[in-house]
């Protein structure tokens, strides 16, 4: 069943700043979410058949795995020409830029980065997902210098005992069995790439560097490399173990976490309630209908509502106050012209008059009450909730080129919201009080009883009711 995104949804939700990078099949833009003020990265991919599997792979992996050191997916929006993947923004560049600017990393810093990288790959392998393109440009760094593993376009699902044959990724980071075009274990191939990354970050150069491609490949297949004098004994032992040519003798990613040189990251995986009542209440205040919120979170649609939920959740994880009003002033210089054709701009849509605002204790609405909300791509695996930001009312739409679901088996190849309804209630009123107030409002409208307005606590609704026609007067 195709999804039908609203025109102008991207422009209404995000303030595009400028293009920050270009990859093999798309480019990335820096943007601000208009409601939360959070910076995000928008990966723009043209809808071509050659890009389809890469896009589906990246979306499916990011929907499946949630880890503090894996880039986080917020929203997916598709149109007839482009697919927009909105993810977490890593502001400090990548590992390649860090090493090229500062030289080889100090051992303590390398231990932290390598431990976080191994933890992220362990999470992927636990879900039977192999990355297959581990290299320094794909190891992103956030504002605190923490690892954010990204670019899962070549990832695939690989259960235990599965033999892969597709050769992909960067040759200088490929395992010997991939260079020889033999069948390979994807997880062991990832471990080899991790070893090359470890050598690169602790020495500042590649271990298998030859004057020609053939010479480089020959060094990889026989495992010929040098260990500099500054490398300590434990680190040298770890490099030798990882860069073992025979894959059956190569350690697993779990074995690396138990090596004495590896520094495992502190436990910072958050366990949030599903859904978080404070975040849902914040979505209520911004005019989203209850049935749309719970439908989006339950089905993990990664639409506007779920995207906003996830961004508010991320603000809470960072210790930021997401209950206060947000200004979206541009913190950067004026951006250059964007190469993306802008979507048709539009206004925020209000809650429909026929939809009462249900509180948190309301039962799940029936199927006929659910609105027609766009469903981009979602993963069937159940996880903890998150959010997105979708105006509830229908608008002009265009058909989506992608299917609304991703199969369990991934066949992956080599200003401000001035028009949006806002609550006039004080922020410190409890959830139960707001629920009672909404019930009274709904009952008063259903029973047609007039109520005295209170200018201090009056809630503004954009619900217009057609006036009753006057009956002809009897003469």
Per-residue pLDDT tens over the stretch 152-170: 989 999 888 889 988 888 9
In this predicted structure, the answer to whether residue 262 has a pLDDT above a threshold of 70 is yes
Q: How far apart are CA 322 and CA 313, in angstroms?
A: 9
Q: How far apart are CA 241 and CA 249, in angstroms?
A: 8
Residues 430-448 have a mean pLDDT of: 68
Q: Cα 436 vs. chain centroid, distance in angstroms?
A: 35
Q: What is the pLDDT of residues 98-109, one digit of tens each?
A: 999 999 999 999
Q: In Å, how far are 40, 104, 165, 182, 201 from 95, measured between CA atoms?
A: 20, 11, 28, 30, 8
Q: How confident is the model at residue 68, as a pLDDT? A: 93
pTM across the whole model: 0.68
Q: How confident is the model at residue 339, as a pLDDT? A: 52
Q: How confident is the model at residue 409, as a pLDDT? A: 40
> Do the beta carbons of residue 214 and residue 192 sit within 8 Å?
no
Residues 8-24 have a mean pLDDT of: 84
Q: Which domains does the chain have, with CATH numbers?
A: 95-257 (1.10.510.10)
Q: What is the pLDDT of residues 127-145, one digit of tens each?
A: 999 999 999 999 999 999 9
Which position has the token pair 């964007």? 338
How close are the terminal C-alpha atoms of the chain, in Å? 59
464 three-class SS? coil
Q: What is the pLDDT of residues 42-99, one digit of tens each?
A: 999 998 888 888 899 899 999 999 899 999 999 999 988 999 999 999 999 999 999 9
> Do the beta carbons of residue 3 and residue 404 sit within 8 Å?
yes
Q: Which of 126, 133, 226, 372 is catalytic?
A: 133
> Do the beta carbons of residue 74 and residue 88 sit within 8 Å?
yes
Q: How confident is the model at residue 26, as a pLDDT? A: 85
197 three-class SS? helix
> Do the beta carbons of residue 148 and residue 140 sit within 8 Å?
yes
* Paired sense of beta strands 156-157 and 129-130, if any: antiparallel
Q: Which long-range contacts (CB under 8 A, 24 or more apart) does 184-188 make?
A: 184/247, 185/158, 185/247, 186/130, 186/132, 186/156, 186/158, 186/162, 187/125, 187/130, 187/158, 187/252, 187/253, 188/247, 188/250, 188/252
Q: CB-side exposure of 468: number of CA atoms within 13 Å?
A: 4
> Do the beta carbons of residue 136 and residue 96 sit within 8 Å?
yes
In this predicted structure, the answer to whether residue 383 has a pLDDT above a threshold of 60 is no
Q: State yes or no: is 133 an active-site residue.
A: yes
Q: How many CB atoms lie within 10 A of CB 267?
A: 8
383 vs 291, more confident:
291
Candidate ranges 118-132, 269-283, 336-350, 384-398; pick with highest mean pLDDT: 118-132
At 446, the pLDDT band (50, 70, 90 cuts) reads low
């Amino acid at each position: 069943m195709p999804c039908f995104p609203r025109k102008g949804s991207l422009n209404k939700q995000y303030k595009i700043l400028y293009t920050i990078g270009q990859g093999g099949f798309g480019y990335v833009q820096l943007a601000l979410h208009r409601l939360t003020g959070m910076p995000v990265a928008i990966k723009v991919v043209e809808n071509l058949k050659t890009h389809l599997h890469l896009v589906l792979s990246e979306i499916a992996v990011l929907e499946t795995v949630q880890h503090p050191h894996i880039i986080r997916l917020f929203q997916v929006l598709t149109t007839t020409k482009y697919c927009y993947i909105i993810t977490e923004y890593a502001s400090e560049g990548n590992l390649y830029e860090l090493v090229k600017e500062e030289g080889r990393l100090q051992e303590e810093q390398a231990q932290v980065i390598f431990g976080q990288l191994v933890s992220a790959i362990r999470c992927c392998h636990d879900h039977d997902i192999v990355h297959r393109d581990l290299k320094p440009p794909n190891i992103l760094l956030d504002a605190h210098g923490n690892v954010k593993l990204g670019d899962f376009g070549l990832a695939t699902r690989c259960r235990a005992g599965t033999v892969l044959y597709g050769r992909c990724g960067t040759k200088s980071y490929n395992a010997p069995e991939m260079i020889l075009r033999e069948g390979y274990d994807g997880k062991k191939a990832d471990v080899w790439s991790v070893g090359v990354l470890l050598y690169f970050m602790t020495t500042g150069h590649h271990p298998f560097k030859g004057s020609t491609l053939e010479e480089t490949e020959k060094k990889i297949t026989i495992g010929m490399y040098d260990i500099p004098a500054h490398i300590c004994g434990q680190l040298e032992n770890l490099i030798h173990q990882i860069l073992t040519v025979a894959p059956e003798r190569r350690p697993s990613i779990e074995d690396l976490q138990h090596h004495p040189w590896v520094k495992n990251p502190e436990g910072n995986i958050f366990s949030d309630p599903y859904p978080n009542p404070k975040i849902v209440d914040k979505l209520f205040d911004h005019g989203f209908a209850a049935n749309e919120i719970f439908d989006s979170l339950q089905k993990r649609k990664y639409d506007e509502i779920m995207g906003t939920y996830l961004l508010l959740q991320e603000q809470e994880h960072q210790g930021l106050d997401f209950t206060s009003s947000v200004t979206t002033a541009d913190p950067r210089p004026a951006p250059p012209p964007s190469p993306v054709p802008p979507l048709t701009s539009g206004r925020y849509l209000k809650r429909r008059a026929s939809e009462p605002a249900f509180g948190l204790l309301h039962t799940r609405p029936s199927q006929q009450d659910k609105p027609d909300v766009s469903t981009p791509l979602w993963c069937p695996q159940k996880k903890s909730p998150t959010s997105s930001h979708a105006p509830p009312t229908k608008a002009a739409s265009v058909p989506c080129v992608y299917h609304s679901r991703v199969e369990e088996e991934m066949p992956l190849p080599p200003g401000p919201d001035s028009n949006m309804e806002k609550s006039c209630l004080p922020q410190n009123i409890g959830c139960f009080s707001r629920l009672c107030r909404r019930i009274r409002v709904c009952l008063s409208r259903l029973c047609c009883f007039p109520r005295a307005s209170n200018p201090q606590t009056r809630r503004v609704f954009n619900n217009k009711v057609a006036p009753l026609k006057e009956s002809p007067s009897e003469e």
